[in-house]
């Protein structure tokens, strides 16, 4: 599940690595990427429910979910609302750290993190931000910042792996540990030397790390 305003393209590196192991689906949530742009405002619950509707159309009974950044908030909401559809969850770089739950702090952390990410990611972000438009960017920021994800984590019954890059500026070690502790069946994995967008910058290493958990 893609992150803040981005689309499925930047998830494709891990999709290609996972493809020989299982069926893989990379979604563009409503309003993002190549998906339709709803005229009405979307809430986090709407995004989560749209995933359930999509699974119904494809007749998928259950699935494992991998999310990056804001995508972790979407699949946490999804797992809380549609637990029967979830196998296992991987939360890679879960946002938003309550100690930085303001737009200013998030922008500052994002700028610091961008210095240690792959240069190609910046081009992807600019394209997807352009596709989404300013109105949807601001609406997504509101969704992300208003979401008290920590209140939902204790309700997640699925086995969940929290993955953090040791150099991730947006997700502190303290917050990653708290997320793990709040999950009834949570585990924490820290990958040394990596930043916030491991799915894009180190797909092979990421898949190798999560493969035992996903039982692939």
Q: What is the pLDDT of residue 110?
A: 79
Residue 157 domain-assigned (yes or no)? yes
Q: Quick one: three-class SS letters along 169-201?
A: CCCCHHHHHHHHHHCCCEEEEEECCCCCCHHHH
Q: What is the pLDDT of residue 134?
A: 82
Residue 148 domain-assigned (yes or no)? yes
Q: What is the pLDDT of residue 16?
A: 96
Q: Is the peptide bond before 96 cis (omega within 30 degrees of 0)?
A: yes
Q: What is the pLDDT of residue 7?
A: 84
Provide the total of helices (H) and of strands (E) in the chain, helices listed first. 10, 4
Residue 135 domain-assigned (yes or no)? yes
Residue 3 domain-assigned (yes or no)? no
Give the residue numbers spanning the domain of 65: 8-211
Residue 216 domain-assigned (yes or no)? no
Residue ranges, the chain, pLDDT below 50: none
Q: How much is the pTM? A: 0.91
Residue 173 belongs to a domain with what CATH number?
3.40.50.1820
Task: Give the C-alpha separation, 61 to 55, whole Å.
Answer: 7
The total number of structural domains that make up the chain: 1
Yes or no: say if 172 and 99 are a contact pair by the CB < 8 Å rule. Answer: yes
pLDDT digits (tens, 9 = 90+) for 129-158: 788 778 888 888 888 899 999 999 999 999
Q: What is the pLDDT of residue 187?
A: 97
Residue 179 domain-assigned (yes or no)? yes
Q: What is the pLDDT of residue 127?
A: 79
Q: What is the pLDDT of residue 3?
A: 87
Q: What would you report as the CA-atom Rg of the chain, rounded to the nearest whole angstrom?
A: 16
The whole-angstrom distance between residue 150's C-alpha and the CA centroid of its chain comes to 15
Residue 1 domain-assigned (yes or no)? no
């Amino acid at each position: 599940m893609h992150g803040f305003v981005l689309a499925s393209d930047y998830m494709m590196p891990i999709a290609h690595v996972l493809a020989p192991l299982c069926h893989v689906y990379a979604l563009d949530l409503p309003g993002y990427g190549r998906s339709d742009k709803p005229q009405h405002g979307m809430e986090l619950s709407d995004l989560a429910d749209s995933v359930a509707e999509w699974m119904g159309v494809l007749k998928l009974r259950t699935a494992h979910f991998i999310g990056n950044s804001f995508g972790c908030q979407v699949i946490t909401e999804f797992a809380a609302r549609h637990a029967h559809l979830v196998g296992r969850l991987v939360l890679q770089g879960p946002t938003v750290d309550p100690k930085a739950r303001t737009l200013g702090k998030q922008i500052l952390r994002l700028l610091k993190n961008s210095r240690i990410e792959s240069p190609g990611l910046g081009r992807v972000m600019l394209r997807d931000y352009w596709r989404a438009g300013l109105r949807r960017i601001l609406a997504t920021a509101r969704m992300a910042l208003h979401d008290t994800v920590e209140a939902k984590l204790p309700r997640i019954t699925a086995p969940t792996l929290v993955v953090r890059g040791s150099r991730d500026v947006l997700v502190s070690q303290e917050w990653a540990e708290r997320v793990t502790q709040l999950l009834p069946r949570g585990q924490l994995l820290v990958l040394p030397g990596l930043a916030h967008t491991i799915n894009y910058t180190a797909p092979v290493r990421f898949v190798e790390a999560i493969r035992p958990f996903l039982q692939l």
